[in-house]
Amino acid sequence: MRNVALLIFSIITLSISAQPKQKKEQIMVDGIAREFIVYVPQLANISDKLPVIISLHGRLGTGEGMMNFADFKPIADKEKFIIVCPSGIDKSWNDGRETPAHKKGINDVKFIDQLITYILNTYHGDDRRVYVTGMSNGGFMASRLACELSNRIAAIAVVGASMDKNMDYHPVKSLPVMYIQGTKDPLVPYNGGTMKGAGGDIYSHTDVLKLWAVMGHCQDNLDYTNMPDNANDGTSIKKEQYSNAATGVRVVGYTVIDGGHTWPGGTQYLPKFIVGTVSHNLNACEAIWAFFKDCRLDKN
């Protein structure tokens, strides 16, 4: 009877562990309770160290909203990685520009640093495979983290954002980066210049790619790929990639021609006259994971 009971317990435990787990948590940083959502994939072997994607929402967003907006869950279940969606203070991130979080002096770099430590320790994450992606304000924050936490992050992917030319932080180390930007983004100008809202004098899409390519010593190796409007939604895609074969560093840019301030492959979350068109000629989640999965942080 005892053996039967143990067998039943093992079956129940295996069944529970096989289910995806989404949980709301918090950690204290500078005396502030910082909230985040964690998604652990289906059938994850607890003996394996899993990659981690930290996904940062845009201005006025939340971690819970980002989990659904940039829906990596089906890919995470198949490819086995952890998704973490934190929430910014006043629905914003201190990316260095005049956001509400910046005005309050919130140290979001410290928050993400401590969040990484918590996820690695609590969920058996792989410290060589921590990635950051983000949309809009979250994308600008991802750019900042690439500069200030390059010792902890293996790669970033930015959607609908760039970098501020007058930032107090600068790239200090080459690492793989991806930027996805629409040519008709009404909030973050594709050709750079002055932004509205939180402001900033930002790099153009082309120039931010060149900035990272120079840092990675791969500016002379440029490949182009054009992707037609197979979705018949009025957009098309141009992909460009700089690479350094010796170091493995890649700088990838996706230009969404006639695309707006949107997540390719996602939803039309606001009317087109406000944010522009969502392209379905590219699935941003799939492209981002395909880019991330081969990136490893050099710990030597």
User: pLDDT 10s digit of each residue in the chain, 300 long?
Assistant: 544 444 433 433 434 445 568 999 999 999 999 999 999 997 656 678 999 999 999 999 999 999 999 999 999 999 999 999 999 999 999 999 999 999 999 999 999 999 999 999 999 899 999 999 999 999 999 999 999 999 999 999 999 999 999 887 878 888 999 999 999 999 999 999 998 878 889 999 999 999 999 999 886 667 788 988 999 999 999 999 999 888 889 999 999 999 999 999 999 999 999 999 999 999 999 999 999 999 998 864
Pairing of strands 193-194, 201-202: antiparallel
Full DSSP string of 45-77: -TTSPEEEEEEE--TT--HHHHHHHS--HHHHH
Residue 112 contacts residue 54 (beta carbons within 8 Å): yes
Provide the CA 281 distance to its chain's centre, in angstroms: 19
Which residues, including other chains, have CB under 8 Å from residue 204's CB and lie 6 or more apart?
Answer: 162, 189, 190, 191, 192, 193
pLDDT of res. 245: 84
Structural domains in the chain, CATH included, are 20-292 (3.40.50.1820)
| 3-state secondary structure labels for all residues of 8-22 | HHHHHHHHHHCCCEE
Query: Are the C-beta atoms of residues 82 and 121 closer than 8 Å to each other?
Result: no
pLDDT at position 199, please? Answer: 80
CA dist 55 to 131, 193, 205, Å?
Answer: 9, 26, 21
The C-alpha angle 243, 78, 76, rounded to 5 degrees, equals 70
Q: What angle do CA 176, 177, 181 make, to 5 degrees?
A: 160
Nearest Cα neighbor of 173 from 156, 148, 140 is 148
* Other beta carbons less than 10 A from residue 4's beta carbon: 8
Per-residue pLDDT, 20: 63
**In angstroms, rounded to a whole number, what is the distance separating the alpha carbons of residues 2 and 24?**
37
Fill in the amino acid letter for 197. Answer: G
Q: How many angstroms separate the CA atoms of 298 and 300, rounded? A: 6
pTM of the complete model: 0.91
